[in-house]
Structure 1
């Protein structure tokens, strides 16, 4: 059952960032920290307020490249950067989750730039100019270049993002509504970099892989939920509240890798109007449901990072330099 009970999103300003942009062919996930001085913070404000113009400057060369950049701000720098002690209601640092076998780690990060385009050169050029403008005001904490892999598959060979909301459900799932009116139209964003052990995964027979994921590998057909015992990744990542209402998030995950370095992974990025939905999903994956029955995909995919941000509306960013 999809969440249709809260229609507050229908009054959300239309100037939200490009959260609902279709999955692109290329992406850059850039996490940075801000230097601890007032000049650095002012420089960051100036750059963030001009991001819309920078997208136009780079993107005009080919409008069909559909260049976009979503920006998220972390809890630790929110007040100092925005000049306001009032924060989005659920914004907090990423909470590490220690299961019986695997841990969702918490790692540093003050700002997230989620850069997307149909051409990798546009992502590259935008990032180059962005970092040039930010200069010494920031330090790069993590930089991942993602790509679309065949028919939107991850490097484990399965289609990713099948359960994403679409159409009229998109805003209700991804945007804060009037329950937090000062930040309506914004989105909570959680990012994690997962590194895959493809050799061990590849040694599993396909039916066993399908049991872990909860879908068929070739056709992407959803398998029935297990009534008892080990639940699949698909089941554990489905969040239903106490009223039986299912809450979706938007995943814009991308594969990444460097075969020469033996590095293969998936960059998870989830957008939601309710941070607790993503947090509960990760708790079910790492702790298990019931406890100890964790998501078996974690035996092959290790979470190397974990950071939480809030992506405010575009007018909010534009006004930061004022």
Structure 2
């Protein structure tokens, strides 16, 4: 019996830190594993989720044949919008309600990985109002509400060799808030495909085909392309946006979503939302089950 990494589903946190690393060299993998084992043992006051990029995971996967999955590749729409690739080797997600504990964990992780992995991205996220994005719209309203549904969307099935693991997609989006807020509330709702105040989906002819809901609420062969979103807004004086974070049982669902958003599906329509936000990073990782992670990190 295996269990998913618990931090994937813990939803009470209000403070989030995403850390993405690239290895300094292939030869440091053994050192990285030892340091991650120390981090896993020591960081217990906050939720900790660890994911591995495709090249790194193939080196350390103890199950043979190793799980094969692709790196994130840049996607460009016919209109020139771009979802930029920045594939990293290691994903660490810290979250909690306790800001001080988050900072302490963050500093410890960075201290441990210094010299073995180079920090490629650090994003400080937070819960904004009632789970809203900085555009003012509720984020993740299409998520399964029950734990069973979240597990079904996020985790590899029990008959899979890597069961209860999850494929992760992370993207840092930079919002053009001034441009977006120039729109009327009606135009904003047409962009998202939901009402702003109470997050009710538009229906029938009121729902534009290029709205965000229309481009991301997808089915393939009658199978809903569900994923479990854990995105978080971030902001400073110079830049505001959303770190899109999702966990999924099937890596191809991410590609289906991106193709639909960027005008690469059959109808050629682009998601209206990408006129108001740019994806400046993009990576895929694999988060093994808790038991498989412990096996990977075993240094005995």
TM-score, normalization by structure 1: 0.86
Q: Show the 5 A alignment for 1:148-159.
A: 148-159=127-138
How many residues are aligned here? Answer: 296
Per-residue Cα deviation, 1:247-303 (whole angstroms, up to 9, x for no partner)? 3111111110112x2x01000001001111121111100125554310010001001
Question: Deviation at 1:86?
Answer: 3.3
- Structure 2 residue ranges without an equivalent (≥5): none
1:283 aligns with 2:259: yes
1:174 aligns with 2:163: no
Name the CA distance, whole Å, in 2 between partners of 1:232 and 1:288: 15
1:104 aligns with 2:93: no
- Helix, strand or coil for the counterpart of 2:71? coil
Q: Which moved more, 1:185-194 or 1:45-54?
A: 45-54
1:73 aligns with 2:52: yes
1:42 corresponds in structure 2 to 30
Name the CA distance, whole Å, in 2 between partners of 1:186 and 1:23: 22
Q: Show the 5 A alignment for 1:307-322.
A: 307-320=283-296, 321-322=299-300
Kindly indicate whether the alpha-carbon contact (under 8 Å) linking 1:71 and 1:114 is maintained by their aligned counterparts in 2: yes
1:19 corresponds in structure 2 to 8
Name the CA distance, whole Å, in 2 between partners of 1:273 and 1:179: 12
1:299 aligns with 2:275: yes
Name the CA distance, whole Å, in 1 between partners of 2:257 and 2:265: 10
Name the CA distance, whole Å, in 1 between partners of 2:4 and 2:25: 31
Q: Show the 5 A alignment for 1:247-262.
A: 247-259=225-237, 261=238
Name the CA distance, whole Å, in 2 between partners of 1:138 and 1:304: 21
Name the CA distance, whole Å, in 1 between partners of 2:264 and 2:76: 11
Match of 1:193 among 167, 172, 180: 172
Kindly indicate whether the alpha-carbon contact (under 8 Å) linking 1:35 and 1:41 is maintained by their aligned counterparts in 2: no
- Helix, strand or coil for the counterpart of 2:67? coil
Name the CA distance, whole Å, in 2 between partners of 1:178 and 1:51: 28
Kindly indicate whether the alpha-carbon contact (under 8 Å) linking 1:48 and 1:317 is maintained by their aligned counterparts in 2: no
- Helix, strand or coil for the counterpart of 1:121? helix
Name the CA distance, whole Å, in 2 between partners of 1:33 and 1:17: 24
Per-residue Cα deviation, 1:140-181 (whole angstroms, up to 9, x for no partner)? 000000011111100111000111113221211110114532
- Helix, strand or coil for the counterpart of 2:167? strand
Q: Show the 5 A alignment for 1:197-216.
A: 197-216=176-195
TM-score, normalization by structure 2: 0.92
Name the CA distance, whole Å, in 2 between partners of 1:179 and 1:170: 18
1:31 aligns with 2:20: yes
1:113 corresponds in structure 2 to 92
Kindly indicate whether the alpha-carbon contact (under 8 Å) linking 1:49 and 1:317 is maintained by their aligned counterparts in 2: no
Name the CA distance, whole Å, in 1 between partners of 2:83 and 2:14: 28
Shift of the 229–297 alpha-carbon distance from structure 1 to 2, 3 Å rule, reads closer
Shift of the 226–81 alpha-carbon distance from structure 1 to 2, 3 Å rule, reads farther
Q: Show the 5 A alignment for 1:115-130.
A: 115-130=94-109
1:63 corresponds in structure 2 to none
Shift of the 266–23 alpha-carbon distance from structure 1 to 2, 3 Å rule, reads farther
